[in-house]
């Protein structure tokens, strides 16, 4: 059943008619400790669309989620794709959130919200644990075709100096900046390899927006991380993204959504670059020899 799949974290693809959903006992007792975004997806199943909008609303130091802008609150729209593998966290890092889902009529439509506004009636109570805050970002690049023509001399030289394969360096650069030399992330990372200020200082980078300097410093950092993690490139990617401290704290890839998406992205790109360069497949995780 669609509700069972969604509560288990499945995709948001096709779903049965509303009459069938209402007959489902799980639909009738929608009191779940799963992510609140799932509750919103359930409440929106009456809308025939491939993407739905949930509003994140701020008022007097409080945050709520709603299916329409709340009067008197500052609200921003967030579009949820039915085809997405997972729903995003719109609360932020708030620890365990306990609240109530309400419904009311607004402008002739039924609106669901986690704020008790005039005319609201209670639908259900919920408890949801939000993921920990992350110093990371998913990278500015997107999974796409390998780009072997960008900065050929710089990547070849960095691979030779560090002993890392060029496909690996390119996968990181592609995920980080899509080869954009002047890229600047919201977290303060700069250049092709998205170097953070501490890395820029540690590796003596004079101009982080110089592709040559950025690629060499990024390659040296990756080589150091590879040595530290014994060649486990899943941990290398996680540390490059979220920092060594986060990997140490969680004893592996941190639970940050951003970092997990980043590691998956890098893994997919690495496979594509190795294939494009005529190299045998290699996973990020270490595998036992056969």
Residues annotated as catalytic (active site), given as ranges: 176
- Measured CA to CA, the distance from residue 142 to residue 144 in angstroms comes to 6
User: Which one-letter DSSP state was computed for residue 35?
Assistant: -
CA-nearest of 101, 104, 80 to 90 is 80
Alpha helices in the chain (DSSP H): 2-7, 18-23, 25-28, 36-43, 152-162, 166-177, 197-202, 211-228, 233-242, 244-250, 257-276
- Measured CA to CA, the distance from residue 150 to residue 268 in angstroms comes to 19
Strand partners, 106: 109
CA atoms in the 13 A half-sphere facing the CB of 14: 2
Q: Decide if 65 contacts 90 (C-beta within 8 A).
A: yes
């Amino acid at each position: 059943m669609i509700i069972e799949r969604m509560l288990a974290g499945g995709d948001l693809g096709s779903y049965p008619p509303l009459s069938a959903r209402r007959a489902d006992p799980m639909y009738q007792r929608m009191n779940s400790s799963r992510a609140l975004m799932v509750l919103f997806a359930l409440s929106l199943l009456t809308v025939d669309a491939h993407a739905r909008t949930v509003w994140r609303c701020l008022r007097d130091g409080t945050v709520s989620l709603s299916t329409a802008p709340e009067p008197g609150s500052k609200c921003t729209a967030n579009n949820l794709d039915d085809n997405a593998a997972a729903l995003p966290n719109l609360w932020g890092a708030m620890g365990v959130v306990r609240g109530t889902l309400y419904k009311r009529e607004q402008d002739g439509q039924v609106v669901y919200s986690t704020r008790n506004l005039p005319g609201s009636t209670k639908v259900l109570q919920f408890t949801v644990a939000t993921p920990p805050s992350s110093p990371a970002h998913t990278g500015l690049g997107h999974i796409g075709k390998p780009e072997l023509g960008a900065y050929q001399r710089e990547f070849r030289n960095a691979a030779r100096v560090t002993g890392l394969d060029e496909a690996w360096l390119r996968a990181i650069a592609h995920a980080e900046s899509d080869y954009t030399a002047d890229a600047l992330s919201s977290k303060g990372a700069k250049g092709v390899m998205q170097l953070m200020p501490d890395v820029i200082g540690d590796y003596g980078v004079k101009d982080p927006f110089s592709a040559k300097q950025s690629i060499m410093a990024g390659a040296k950092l990756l080589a150091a991380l590879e040595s530290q993690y014994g060649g486990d490139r899943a941990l290398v990617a996680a540390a490059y993204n979220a920092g060594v401290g986060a990997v140490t704290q969680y004893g592996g890839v941190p639970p940050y959504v951003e970092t997990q998406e980043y590691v998956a992205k890098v893994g997919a790109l690495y496979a594509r670059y190795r294939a494009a360069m005529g190299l045998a497949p290699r996973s990020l995780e270490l595998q036992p020899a056969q």
